[in-house]
Amino acid sequence: MHLIYYDEVKFDPPKQTSYWLGGICVPHELVPEIEAQISAIAERAFGSAVLSKETEIHGIELCRGNGNFKGRDFGERLELLKDLLAIVAREEVMLIRVKVNPENITHANDSPADIAFMFFVEKADELLRAKSSLGMLFGDYDEPAIGTSVANLSEFRQGSTRWARGKGIGNLIDTVHFAKSHHSRMIQLADVHLYASQFMWGDNSSGWRKAIAEIISDSRSLGPTKYKDWPQEARWYR
């Protein structure tokens, strides 16, 4: 059995011109070990490993020095990021990433979030099938998306994904499970991974961004096992 934890970066032009959905896929027996590693990092950062809003790790806050990392030394934050990405880079941790480019979609019946979730489910199921394994999805609790995601996965499992070359989904089981990110170290790790992934598509030629980009690049943690970038050029989607 594999457990898949995922998060999103919302489409927010002109600041963010794509919608990102990405996550980590790990064998279930490895979860306690990875949780312990992330908790040790939280203990270093906050003096406590207990799950709470005060010990929550977000990629954007860690890199930008706000939220729980406001006022923290930049070098310290770089070291924490390096240690988190070392976990992401572990051989047993597989990565799934979807990038949807709404500005290239000339017509769509579904939202960028729904399209990204459909592709994410396809890629997750492909990965599980290649591993001859079953898996379950765990997402960051985002009220507007919960009902839609649950209904969409149910539809995909009963028939196929919703496009011209729709795919049957047979290795993802049950439903989508949601938790507040401050209640799950694994969702926090997925958040850090996805923030790092989208960060590398920005202009990182100077200042604090260059230093962070070097940490991310050196970590060798960004090579997705399965990914989908869509569409690369303007097209219709039905």
Give the torsion sign (CA, 209, 210, 215, 216): positive
Q: Which of 14-23, 70-79, 106-115 has the lowest mean pLDDT?
A: 106-115
Per-residue pLDDT at 235 exceeds 50: no
Instruction: Please report which confidence band the pLDDT of residue 201 belongs to, taking 50, 70 and 90 as the band edges.
Output: very high
For each of the domains in the chain, give its residue range(s) and CATH number, in order of start.
2-226 (3.30.420)
Q: Which long-range contacts (CB under 8 A, 24 or more apart) does 141-145 make?
A: 141/178, 141/179, 141/180, 141/181, 142/8, 142/178, 145/8, 145/113, 145/117
Query: Are residues 25 and 4 in contact, defined by beta-carbon separation less than 8 angstroms?
Result: yes
pLDDT value of position 143: 65
Per-residue pLDDT at 151 exceeds 50: yes
Instruction: Please report which confidence band the pLDDT of residue 13 belongs to, taking 50, 70 and 90 as the band edges.
Output: confident
Residue predicted with more confidence, 105 or 208: 208
CA-CA distance, 55 to 184, in Å (whole number)? 11
pLDDT value of position 238: 39
CA-CA distance, 230 to 170, in Å (whole number)? 23
pLDDT value of position 233: 58
Give the pLDDT confidence of 28-59 residue by residue, as tens digits: 999 999 999 999 999 999 999 999 999 999 99
Per-residue pLDDT at 237 exceeds 50: no
CA-CA distance, 7 to 2, in Å (whole number)? 17
pLDDT value of position 146: 81
pLDDT value of position 62: 98
DSSP assignment of 70-125, as one string?
A: TT--HHHHHHHHHHHHHHHTSTT-EEEEEEE-GGGEEE-SS-HHHHHHHHHHHHHH
Ranges of H-type helices in 20-69: 31-46, 59-64
Residue predicted with more confidence, 184 or 106: 184
